[in-house]
Amino acid sequence: MTNDLIRRSDFDGIALLTLANPPVNALGLAVRQRLTALTAELEADESVRAVVLTAEGRVFVGGADIAEFDRPPEAPHLPDVIAAIEASRKPWIAALNGAALGGGAELALGCHYRIFADTARLGLPETSLGLIPGAGGTQRLPRRIGLAPAIEVITAGRTLSAAEAREAGLADRIAAGELIPEALAFARTLDGALPRPASAAPLADPGHAFWDEARARIARAARGNPAPTAALEAIRAGVAEGFAAGLRAERETFLRLRASDEAAALRHLFFAERAALRPAALRGIEPVPLTRAGVIGGGTMGSGIAAALAAAGLEVRLTETGPEALAAGLERVEAIFEAQVKRGLTDRAGATERMARVTGTVGLGALADCDLVIEAVFEDLAVKRRVFEELVRLCGPEAILATNTSYLDPERIVEGLPHPHRFIALHFFSPAQVMKLLEIVPLAATAPRILATGVALAARLGKIPVQAGNGEGFIGNRILKRYRAEAEALLLAGATPTEIDEAMRAFGLGMGPFEMQDMAGLDIAFRAREAARALGQDLPEGPGDRLVRAGRLGRKSGGGWYDYAPGSRLPQPSPEAAALIAPLVTPGARPSGTEIADRLIAAMAEEGQRICDEGLAQSPSDIDLVEVHGYGFPRHKGGPMFHAARKTRSRTSGA
């Protein structure tokens, strides 16, 4: 069986090796063994003048086998496999049929020549897995394309298209027609000629200032992931001490990072994200094909959803209640596409095309022939209910009707309405055109095909779908509620909003809980608490209630947990807020920075576990996906469940 991993066929002195290790031709142990044996065999075979290495499928090589990284490395190691190819007396030509990523790019760089199919690309995404290239990438790429471009590709995990690779000097050819015949023909023209090896290319040291600036810039962008700066150091070692020393530094760093918590966290997310896109329970269920989607409501959420759908190629009908509201909604959509052009996410023509897919209409009449309608109106049961009553009259029984509610019970929105198999909740996160999370909440009667369509829609929008049970706040907002309650408990234990926010930023979140509430406004949660009190719930007066009663609603009222100078977003400690909170604080030991972060993350993980135990999430890794993609939890910490489990493990193992 192993021998099938790489097939050899000979064409008049040219050996063609075809790697076939689906799904992505990863360079697992068996492939490395086979490649090692073949390299020796071809070296000794006098009938062979050159070797073309290609692969089957849409990918050339997706890298090392990530699944092996939880175990100790096993020989033959990839750097040695590649070194043997580079040292061959016969030219090796990599014929890239598709993406060459990570170890795959390094394998291609170790070959003497590279021919790209025009759809092929080459990249070193290791830093996104908390690693650095570990098979020569940090040494060979700078020597092939120059120091500054290589630093960018490696530290940002950027991928070069075939045209960019050609421009950079990495692609000797881009195949105009069929890749393999062209690669074989190219091999024949070489007549055994070998280029100067990458190791012989000189690299000048640009000096301290260059490295210091690069380090600071890369560390800022890495937001706590140690890999990008570690990659820079490996590149620098090779520049300062030469190719061989650079390879040793690279390997040492790669192996150290491979065993790190950050890399384990990023691997966990890599597999969790892919599993989320292919839920086992939906295997074999065909989603409904979608071409036309309606979005009801042109506010921040509705316009963001409309923009996301149009960017993914769907024809969108955006509806509002009147012409003014509609014009404002369409302007919001347009502004989103403008911003995408500015950020380089699309070009002007792309933005025009996206906007052309969005039609605005007043009233729901134009939604009758939509395959999918997403309601994003005011968070009020009666209003949403009226929308659905009208939708079921207008749309055919097969149209999928979705609510984007955050806190209402979707069952109550559609209670008693006909054809309940097609109702579902699709909970987007704001801004919907940016945030990757989509919570998908099937109702009791939702058909599996409708659920599968939600998952397929998320994939099409480039989002991560997480199936949530229909409980209050679904997954994310329920955990948020608990997190906020714990943050307030910390306040009452004597920590200040500044200390708590700083602790969470130091942990890796973009914002702490109090600055976030000041940004969003304290009044929404306050009103929810008051409503619960009116219904007889016994909710003690908390610090947030005291602030709102004193008119401190957050940034919009000039102050909340913090004070803000007029026109400024910079939170300043607030003596007034402190005085309002003070009567509630219990005297005693005040929690420290790490205790604060530990308690807040533990609260999230505990709530996450409860959600799993209640059957409202499919797995702990789904909780992690929700927090990472919906709430800014740092990727390199893997999510609260992963983080908590890892912490418990290292405590019990005494590490």
Site for ligand 3H9 in 86-115 (CB under 6 A): 99, 101-103, 106
Give the number of residues written for the chain: 655
CB of 36 to ligand 3H9, least distance (A): 14
CB of 59 to ligand 3H9, least distance (A): 5
Which one, of 70, 502, 450, lies nearest residue 290 by Cα?
A: 450
Q: Which of 14, 53, 59, 597 binds ligand 3H9 (CB under 6 A)?
A: 59
- The yes or no reply on residue 72 touching ligand 3H9 (CB under 6 A) is no
Cα→Cα distances 155→78, 533, 610, Å: 21, 52, 38
CB of 278 to ligand 3H9, least distance (A): 6
Looking at the DSSP assignment, which residues form a beta bridge with residue 101? 123
Q: Which is nearer to ligand 3H9, 463 or 478 (CB)?
A: 463
The alpha carbon dihedral of 478, 483, 487, 492 has a sign of positive
- Nearest residue to ligand 3H9, using CB? 102
Segment interacting with ligand 3H9, rule: CB under 6 A, options 2-10, 45-53, 56-64, 338-346: 56-64
Q: State residue 425 phi and psi, 5-degree precision.
A: -105, 130
Q: State residue 4 phi and psi, 5-degree precision.
A: -75, -10
For residues 227 and 215, give the distance between their C-alpha atoms in angstroms, rounded to a whole number. Answer: 12
Q: Which is nearer to ligand 3H9, 129 or 464 (CB)?
A: 129
Q: Which is nearer to ligand 3H9, 62 or 297 (CB)?
A: 62
Site for ligand 3H9 in 252-271 (CB under 6 A): 271
Here's the x/- map for ligand 3H9, 2-41, by CB under 6 A: it reads as ---------------------xx-x---------------
Please state whether beta strands 113-116 and 173-174 pair in parallel, antiparallel, or not at all (unpaired): parallel
Q: Which of 3, 7, 41, 67 binds ligand 3H9 (CB under 6 A)?
A: 67
Please state whether beta strands 572-573 and 423-428 pair in parallel, antiparallel, or not at all (unpaired): unpaired
Q: Do residues 98 and 117 lie in contact, with contact meaning Cβ atoms separated by under 8 Å? A: yes
Q: Which of 125, 287, 302, 465 binds ligand 3H9 (CB under 6 A)?
A: 125
Site for ligand 3H9 in 276-335 (CB under 6 A): 278
- The yes or no reply on residue 410 touching ligand 3H9 (CB under 6 A) is no
Residue 154: other Cβ atoms inside 10 A: 28
- The yes or no reply on residue 274 touching ligand 3H9 (CB under 6 A) is yes
Site for ligand 3H9 in 126-185 (CB under 6 A): 126, 129, 131, 133-135, 137
Residue count at the site for ligand 3H9 (CB under 6 A)? Answer: 27
Q: Give the catalytic positions in this structure.
A: 106, 126
Hey, what amino acid is at 36?
T
For residues 47 and 44, give the distance between their C-alpha atoms in angstroms, rounded to a whole number. Answer: 9
Q: Which is nearer to ligand 3H9, 66 or 309 (CB)?
A: 66
Q: Which of 5, 35, 38, 62 binds ligand 3H9 (CB under 6 A)?
A: 62
Hey, what amino acid is at 42?
L
The 8-class DSSP code of residue 617 comes to B
For residues 405 and 96, give the distance between their C-alpha atoms in angstroms, rounded to a whole number. Answer: 46
Which one, of 265, 254, 268, lies nearest residue 132 by Cα?
A: 254
- The yes or no reply on residue 649 touching ligand 3H9 (CB under 6 A) is no
Q: State residue 106 phi and psi, 5-degree precision.
A: -65, -35
Tokens at residue 456, please? Answer: 């397929």
Q: Do residues 631 and 474 lie in contact, with contact meaning Cβ atoms separated by under 8 Å? A: no
CB of 65 to ligand 3H9, least distance (A): 5
CB of 270 to ligand 3H9, least distance (A): 7
Binding site for ligand 3H9 (CB under 6 A): 23-24, 26, 59, 62-67, 78, 99, 101-103, 106, 125-126, 129, 131, 133-135, 137, 271, 274, 278
